Structures are given as C-alpha cells and as structure tokens.
Amino acid sequence: MKKRVLLMVLGLIAVVLTACGNDKPKINEKPYDDKQFLMGTYVQIRIYDDGKKAALKPAFDRVKELADKITVNEDGSEIDEINKEAGVKPVKVTDDMYYLLKEAYKYSRDSNGGFDMAIGSITSMWRIGFPDARKPEQSEIDQALKLVNYHDVEFNDTDKTVYLKEKGMKLDLGAIAKGYITDEVVKVLKEKGVTTAIIDLGGNVYVLGHSPRGDQKEDWTVGIQDPNQARNVVLGSVPESNMSLVTSGIYERYLEVDGKTYHHLFNPKTGYPFDNDIAGVTIVSKKSIDGDGLSTAVFSMGVKEGINYVEGLKDTEAIFVTREDKIYVTSGLKDTFELNKEAGYTMGNDKDLK
C-alpha cells in the first residue's frame, strides 16, 4: 500500500545550538540528502546535523536489508518462503521478520480483522498498482476469501517459526512493512548521533528532532497530502516533532473496469476495496508501524467509528477526509491543524457524523 504524506519544511536557517557546559550539534540549513528508488517507491533521507553525512549509507543499507526479507515475489524473501510452505510446514524466520509478523497479527486482532495480515490471496489476484491488474471473477474472490483468516497464522515464540495452516494462504505485509522499516531507519540514525532529520519512505514520513527555525526549537510544519489529488497537493498542515505521519487514500492506486473505479485498500471480509465514507486518512503516531497498521484498520470502520477508535489510543491522532470533501480531526489536533482554504475542503462538524 502506498502512503503519501507531503512534508513542507518552512524557513529553515542554519543555527548552532549551544548550552552552558554542553556541546550540542550544529544544524545545517542545507541537509545531507539522498534519494533512491526502492520497494517500488522513492525513499528519501535528509540529515541536518553537521558532519553526519556518513549516516546516510547505513540507513539505506537497513532499508534494503529489510525490503529483501519482506517484499512479496522477491528472490529470497522470507514472506515468499512462508507463503510457499502454507499448509505444509512452519518456517523459521529472522528476528526482524518475527517481530513484524507479530505486530501485524496484533493489528489484525485489534481491528477485528479490518486489517488482516492474510489478505494475500485477494491482493495477489487484483494486483492493483501493477501492469497486470485485473478485476477477478466473483467465483475467484469467493474461493480466495476462504483463505483470508489471520487466526490461521500460527507462531512458535521459542523456535521463531511461522506457519500458515491452510494450503494456498498468503501473507501480505504491504500495509505495514514501510512503517516498520521507517522506524528502523530512525533507530539507525539515532545510533549514529543524528538529532535532526526527515525520513520519507514513499509517503511514510518521520520528522526527527525539531525544525531549526529561529533561535528556538520549533516543530516541523508537515503538509498533509490531499488524497483526491496528485502528489504534492496539500489540504492542510500540522506542527510535529519526533512523530510519524502516514496517509492512505483511495486514489493513490486504482483500477478502472467498465466505468467503475477500484482502489487498492481491500476489505478482508468482501474481497473488494473498502466502500464507505472515507476518501483518505492520516495517522499521527510515535511509531510509523502504528501509523501504517492503523491507517488500514480505520478504513474498515468509516469516519465516525474510526474517530472513536483513534480517540481511545495513546499518543495517536488522525485526520479524516470524506468523499464529500469534509475534514474531521481527532481532539488532539483541533487546535493545531491548519486547513489550506484553497484546497476546496471544509471542516466537518462531529455532530453531523451518522
């Protein structure tokens, strides 16, 4: 799943941060910047700490290492090995993969299957976003739905093995993988002494530290991607630091068949894309893996239930865009979200939600 968040960093200037008796890093106006095409998207890392350019290489190395393990239909992928042995035998995986799979199971459980890690039998048929995308026959969808059940994923914590109980089952971690990789890049940068950076994995954005604007530490100004428009169109912004922002939208990847548009966010219960009042949702959270998992989970709920669900979570906020061009935000963003009035949206009233 592609997640798009546009980052706008306004008014960056060079500043040396010092404190009595303690040396603090010099933050440059122009970052050390690298951008590479990985996992079917552009990955960009910008480091503002002076003298920390060398941290770019291990950060990208970590992206490549994890992508090789997680990507479906990738030679040597651990996910492919698990899928291949479905209904046959458990597969031993690395610690990275085991952690990611347990997190995927947690979100599958917490969302009551709205997010289902075993959606692979459905997504592998539709293949929306790829040249060979197609609308499957109803009989194919009905057959594949029998294999979509995260309860049939079996874990062995002692041996670090994963077993799919039914032959033909397929895991698909596309809805959560980039979030995990983003968090791992943040870890690498911190280990290398980086304090101020922007990580963007094809729309999974993490803002590390504070924007070096003026003489005081300030939050970064993060632009929220309009889910109904091409990339780089902003519907609003929020001030954030040391936070992840992940956006999912129905028009990021889609397939048109007989005049009907099918987007890439699938309902595990029907085998078709979610069909409700949500056009896009942005999750603001401390960890990007949480933003990834939640952005799919709340799509299954609709705006009202999705807002109520996010309100019950700690250190997590959300911005919902409806198909009727209304924007709803959770309580923690009501005083900080700034609407771009030229985008054509209006703020919704919570009382109007049915």
- Find where tokens 């929306």 sit: 128
Least confident residue range of 128-142, 169-183, 248-262? 248-262
Q: Distance between terminal CA atoms of the chain?
A: 28
Q: In terms of pLDDT, which residue wins out, 129 or 182?
A: 182
Residue bearing the bigger pLDDT, 4 or 294: 294
Q: Confidence band (pLDDT; 50, 70, 90) for 82?
A: very high
**Is residue 244 a contact partner of residue 205, using CB atoms and an 8 Å limit?**
yes
Percent of the chain clearing pLDDT 70 (strictly above):
90
Of the candidates 292, 311, 290, the residue with the CA atom closest to the CA atom of residue 353? 311
The reported pLDDT for the residue numbered 8 is: 42
CATH number of 69-164: 1.10.3980.10
Task: For residue 316, name the pLDDT band (cuts at 50, 70, 90).
Answer: very high
Task: Give me the mean pLDDT over the 308-333 stretch.
Answer: 94
User: Three-class SS of residue 326?
Assistant: strand
Q: Which of 14-18, 19-23, 86-90, 205-209 has the lowest mean pLDDT?
A: 14-18
For 206-230, how does the pLDDT look when each residue is reduced to its tens digit (9 = 90+)?
999 998 775 557 899 999 988 777 6
User: What's the whole-number mean pLDDT along residues 2-25?
Assistant: 42
pLDDT value at residue 23: 64
Residue 164 CA to residue 314 CA, distance in Å, equals 32
Dmax (CA) of the chain: 71
Token pair listed for 304: 């009202």
Q: With H, G, I as helix, E, B as strand and everything else as coil, classify residue 270.
A: coil
Instruction: Decide the pairing of beta strands 153-156 and 91-92.
Output: unpaired
DSSP 3-state of 32:
strand
Per-residue pLDDT, averaged over 338-350, amounts to 89
pLDDT band per the 50, 70, 90 thresholds, residue 126: confident
Query: Measured between alpha carbons, how far is 38 from 319 in angstroms, rounded to an integer?
Result: 28
- The rounded distance, in Å, linking the Cα atoms of 159 and 315 is 33
Q: Tokens at residue 106, please?
A: 């947690």
Q: Which residue has the tokens 């919704």?
A: 348
State the pLDDT at residue 216: 52
Lowest-confidence region among 60-64, 98-102, 225-229, 248-252: 248-252
Between CA 304 and CA 255 the distance in angstroms is 27
What pLDDT shows up at residue 148?
96
Written as one letter, the residue type at 20 is C
Domain ranges (residues) in the chain: 69-164
Burial of 160 (0-12, 13-18, 19+ CB in 10 A): middle
Q: Which amino acid would we find at residue 240?
A: E
Residues 6+ apart with CB under 8 A from 260: none
Beta carbons of 71 and 79 less than 8 angstroms apart: yes
* Confidence class for position 13, pLDDT limits 50, 70, 90: very low
